[in-house]
């Protein structure tokens, strides 16, 4: 019987963001990690001071596990998944946090690229409004060329 290696599979951030996670035991269809993280941000924004960081989706205190389990199951990060007990073993949570921060940055970069496209499509007024996001023209050019906002 073949065994899985504990070495992570190389995937780009967009492939990882498209992986399906199951944030609730009652969710048969699941949601992409991209949708999950975006929904988390939307809930934070919508709920404001009423936002409950201990249980933002009302699934209980282990709401982060949906993403953690998906990363381990799909061998994006090192660790072992116990399918019988539905839990993670021998995981490197620092590694997982690094991956998740990188995923959030990818979503962020895509958002700014959409902003850029929208501003450029709306002509001179849009370009003028785009400058408010950047400290200098040099920073704007760097963003256009490299697709990164700092």
pLDDT at 72: 94
pLDDT at 74: 93
Residues 89, 81: Cα–Cα separation, whole Å: 6
pLDDT at 91: 87
pLDDT at 120: 58
Over 80: is that where the pLDDT of 19 sits?
yes
Average pLDDT over residues 79-86: 91
pLDDT at 30: 86
Q: Pull the structure tokens for residue 5.
A: 């290696």
Q: Give Cα separations from 147 to 19, 38, 127, 129 (angstroms).
A: 23, 20, 16, 18
Q: Is residue 67 classed exposed, middle or buried when 0-12, 13-18 and 19+ CB atoms within 10 A define those classes?
A: buried
Average pLDDT over residues 4-14: 70
Average pLDDT over residues 95-117: 77
Average pLDDT over residues 93-120: 76
Average pLDDT over residues 7-35: 82
């Amino acid at each position: 019987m073949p065994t899985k290696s504990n070495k992570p599979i190389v995937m780009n951030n967009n492939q990882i963001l498209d992986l399906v996670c199951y944030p609730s035991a009652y969710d048969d269809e699941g949601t992409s990690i991209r949708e999950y993280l975006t929904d988390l941000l939307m809930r934070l924004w919508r709920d404001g001071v009423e936002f409950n960081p201990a249980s933002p989706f009302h699934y209980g205190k282990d709401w982060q596990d949906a993403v953690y389990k998906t990363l381990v199951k799909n061998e994006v990060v090192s660790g072992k998944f116990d399918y019988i007990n539905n839990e993670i073993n021998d995981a490197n949570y620092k590694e997982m946090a690094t991956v998740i921060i990188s995923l959030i940055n990818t979503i962020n970069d895509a958002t700014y690229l959409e902003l850029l496209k929208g501003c450029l499509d709306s002509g001179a007024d849009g370009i003028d409004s785009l400058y408010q996001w950047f400290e200098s023209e040099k920073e704007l050019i760097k963003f256009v060329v490299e697709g990164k906002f700092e």
